[in-house]
C-alpha cells in the first residue's frame, strides 16, 4: 500500500480526481464499522431458515404430530427481524412506487408536509444510495422558482441544493439580475443524488415526478427558471440539447396552473465551458424582463 506521505502534491491531486471520477465521495465512514461482526450476524440470522429447510419432511412423508405442514414448493420465510438482518428488502415494482409517490405528494397540504413525506419515502432506489434528501429552500412566497436537475456530490454532503462551486456561480448569476438565493424558491427535479452523478433512469424520473410537481403546485410560482439539459427535457418533453431548448419561453402545466418557464444552462455547464456564459446571460436578462413585467422584481 502506498502512503499518502510518499506522493507528491500533483500525484495526490491526480489520485483524488481519479476517485472522484469513479464516484468515490469519502474514504472513511464517520463511525467505524466492524464488518466481521456484521457478517457473523448475517450468518446467524440465516441459520434458523437453513435449519427449517433441512427439517422439512420428504415428499410423501407425513409430518410428525404437532409439526406444521409445509408445502413441497413453499419457501421458508424468516421472521421479520431475520429478514431485516439479512440485507435490504427487494424494491417494489416501479408502477407501484409511482402510485405511492403520487399518493404521498397529493396528500401533502404544505411544503413542510411534503418535505417530511419525501424524507420518509423509501420506494425509490436513489434514496438508499444517497446521503441526504434535497428539498426546496428559499422564499416560497416570492413567486419565483429556480429548478435544477439532480443533487451533486456537494449537495448530497451539504444537504441543500446548489452547493459548492456550482452554487457559488448561481449566486452570482442571480445577483446579476437583482435576486438572491433567499429571495427565490430553489429546488431540483430529483431529491436524491444518483450514484456517480449518473443520469436518473426513466423509472426514477417517473417516481420523482409527483414530488417536484407538487412542490410547484404548492408554491404557485409566477415564473420558473429551469437550469440544465436534464431539467429542460424533463419539463418540456423534448429530446433536444439545452442549446436548442434554452432562451425560449414555454409553459409548465401542473395541476390547475400553467406557469411560464425559460431554460438556461446549468452553472456546472458554465464551469465546464465558460464560453457559454454569454448565452446564459441572455437567458437571465429574458428572465429578469419577465419578472419585471409580472411585478415580481423592481425596476
pLDDT tens for each residue of 2-45: 556 666 776 666 666 555 555 555 555 556 666 566 667 766 76
- As a whole number of angstroms, the distance between CA 71 and CA 56 comes to 9
Q: How many CA atoms lie within 13 A of 261 on its CB side?
A: 27
**Using alpha carbons only, how large is the chain's radius of gyration in Å?**
25
Taking only the tens place, the pLDDT of each residue in 140-193 is: 999 999 999 999 999 999 999 999 999 999 999 999 999 999 999 999 999 999
Q: What is the pLDDT of residue 225?
A: 98
Stretch 102-112: mean pLDDT, rounded? 96
Given a cut of 90, is residue 82 above it in pLDDT?
no
The average pLDDT across 194-198 equals 92
pLDDT given for residue 98 in this prediction: 95
Task: Report CA-CA distances (Å) from 254 to 3, 9, 179, 234.
Answer: 55, 51, 25, 13
pLDDT exceeds cutoff 70 at 90 = no
Q: What is the pLDDT of residue 118?
A: 97
pTM for this prediction:
0.70
Q: Determine which of 41-55, 64-78, 236-250 has the lowest per-residue pLDDT on average.
A: 64-78
Amino acid at each position: 500500500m502506498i502512503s499518502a506521505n510518499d506522493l507528491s502534491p500533483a500525484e495526490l491531486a491526480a489520485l483524488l480526481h481519479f476517485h472522484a471520477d469513479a464516484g468515490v465521495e469519502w474514504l472513511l465512514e464517520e463511525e467505524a464499522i466492524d464488518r466481521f461482526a456484521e457478517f457473523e450476524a448475517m450468518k446467524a440470522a440465516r441459520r434458523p431458515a437453513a435449519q427449517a429447510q433441512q427439517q422439512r419432511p420428504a415428499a410423501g412423508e407425513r409430518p410428525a404430530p404437532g409439526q406444521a405442514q409445509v408445502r413441497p414448493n413453499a419457501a421458508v420465510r424468516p421472521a421479520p427481524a431475520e429478514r431485516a438482518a439479512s440485507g435490504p428488502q427487494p424494491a417494489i415494482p416501479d408502477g407501484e412506487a409511482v402510485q405511492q409517490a403520487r399518493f404521498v405528494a397529493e396528500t401533502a397540504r404544505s411544503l413542510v408536509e411534503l418535505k417530511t413525506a419525501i424524507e420518509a419515502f423509501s420506494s425509490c432506489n436513489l434514496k438508499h444510495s444517497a446521503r441526504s434528501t434535497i428539498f426546496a429552500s428559499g422564499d416560497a412566497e416570492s413567486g419565483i422558482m429556480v429548478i435544477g436537475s439532480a443533487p451533486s456530490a456537494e449537495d448530497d454532503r451539504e444537504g441543500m441544493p446548489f452547493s459548492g462551486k456550482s452554487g457559488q456561480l448561481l449566486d452570482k448569476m442571480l445577483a446579476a439580475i437583482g435576486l438572491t438565493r433567499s429571495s427565490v424558491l430553489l429546488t431540483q427535479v430529483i431529491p436524491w443524488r444518483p450514484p456517480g452523478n449518473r443520469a436518473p433512469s426513466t423509472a426514477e424520473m417517473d417516481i420523482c415526478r409527483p414530488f417536484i410537481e407538487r412542490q410547484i403546485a404548492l408554491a404557485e410560482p409566477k415564473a420558473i427558471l429551469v437550469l440544465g439539459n436534464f431539467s429542460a427535457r424533463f419539463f418540456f418533453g423534448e429530446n433536444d440539447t439545452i442549446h436548442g431548448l434554452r432562451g425560449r419561453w414555454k409553459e409548465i402545466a401542473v395541476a390547475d396552473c400553467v406557469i411560464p418557464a425559460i431554460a438556461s444552462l446549468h452553472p456546472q455547464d458554465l464551469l465546464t465551458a465558460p464560453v457559454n456564459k454569454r448565452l446564459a446571460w441572455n437567458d437571465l436578462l429574458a428572465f429578469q424582463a419577465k419578472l419585471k413585467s409580472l411585478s415580481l422584481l423592481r425596476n
